[in-house]
Amino acid sequence: MSDEAMRIHRALARAGIASRRKAEELVAAGRVRVNGVVARTGQSVDPARDAITVDGRPVVQPKAASWYVLHKPSGVLTTRSDPDGRPTVFELVPADPGLTYVGRLDYMTEGVLLLTTDGDAAHRLTHPSSGVPRRYVATVRGAVKAAAQAIRAGVELEDGLAQPEEVTVTPSPAVPRAFELSLTIREGRTREVRRLCEAVGLEVLRLVRTSFGPVTLGALAPGASRPLTARERDLLLALTHSETR
């Protein structure tokens, strides 16, 4: 199956013809043809190459959404424009019409920032109910072992209890007398990690989001971006309960 190939029912659903279940019923009823031949249930098609019809009417596929991952540097705003002329993330990615960010990172926070032209998916991925894991590494100073124990137990913030997953502490390899506090959160509340560290008495020297769902920084340099792979995109959409291949 090629990168653009998918099951016939998904192709119909993505084109807005019907839900996947209803699309399967259309195929089973013999109302769908692929290149003039009656489609089979579960058949793979390539919407960019195959001529698909339902009751004789052509099925037009929407343009595929664009997806990028940016290694956001510190000192860059996650916004479309800034009245004070400060740099923004949109200056670092392709000028793709309709591009929006998937959850913001604050001015000084670095790391994985997703951008897409699929606004609905962006909203679903950042909604608290999605529970998409986000991994952060904070370089901190303070009583880090006691702080980590408090974080594991849960810390009450002004907007509710924060209880990250997989909290670990290691000495910083780059900053003397500092530690790296690694943790995973799923809610994505505003400045949650910074507020959490402040609440337990830690000074944050640097904060990096190393992953968002299945997408990791890897070797991507600060300020650089790349398109998501088909696998990364499909895994993300699966997290939102969207149609998947």
Residue 97 lies in a domain: yes
Residue 182 falls inside a structural domain? yes
Is position 19 within any domain?
A: yes
18 domain residue, yes or no: yes
Same domain for 203 and 139, yes or no, is yes
pLDDT confidence of residue 11: 86
Q: Based on the fold, state whether residues 119 and 71 are members of the same structural domain.
A: yes
Q: Could you tell me the residue range of the domain that residue 174 belongs to?
A: 133-212
Residues 225 and 119 in one domain: yes
Residue 2 pLDDT: 45
Same domain, yes or no: 124 and 225:
yes
Instruction: Say yes or no: 225 and 118 in one domain.
Output: yes
Active-site pick, 46, 96, 106, 234: 106
CATH number at residue 235: 3.30.70.580
HEC sequence for the chain: CCCCCEEHHHHHHHCCCCCHHHHHHHHHCCCEEECCEECCCCCEECCCCCCEEECCEECCCCCCCCEEEEEECCCCECCCCCCCCCCEHHHCCCCCCCCEECCCCCCCCEEEEEEECCHHHHHHHHCHHHCCCEEEEEEEECCHHHHHHHHHHCEEECCEEECCEEEEEEECCCCCCCEEEEEEECCCCCCHHHHHHHHCCCEEEEEEEEEECCEECCCCCCCCEEECCHHHHHHHHHHCCCCCC
Please report whether residue 244 resides in a domain.
no
Q: Is residue 245 part of a domain?
A: no
Residues 226 and 206 in one domain: no
CATH code of the domain covering residue 199? 3.30.2350.10
Q: Is residue 37 assigned to a domain? A: yes
82 is catalytic: no
Classify residue 83: in a domain, yes or no: yes
Same domain flag for 196 and 225: no
Same domain, 156 and 118: no
pLDDT value of residue 245: 38
Domain count, the chain: 3
Q: Clarify whether residues 83 and 115 are in a common domain.
A: yes
| pLDDT for position 244 | 39
**Mean pLDDT (10-residue bins), the chain, 245 residues:** 70 81 93 96 91 94 86 96 95 90 95 91 86 96 97 95 95 96 92 96 98 96 96 89 46
Give the pLDDT score at 3.
46
CATH code, domain carrying 33: 3.10.290.10
Q: Is 138 in the same domain as 203?
A: yes
Residues 155 and 223 grouped into a single domain: no
**pLDDT at residue number 1:** 41
Is there a single domain that holds both residue 223 and residue 123?
yes
Q: Name the domain boundary from 37, 58, 79.
A: 58
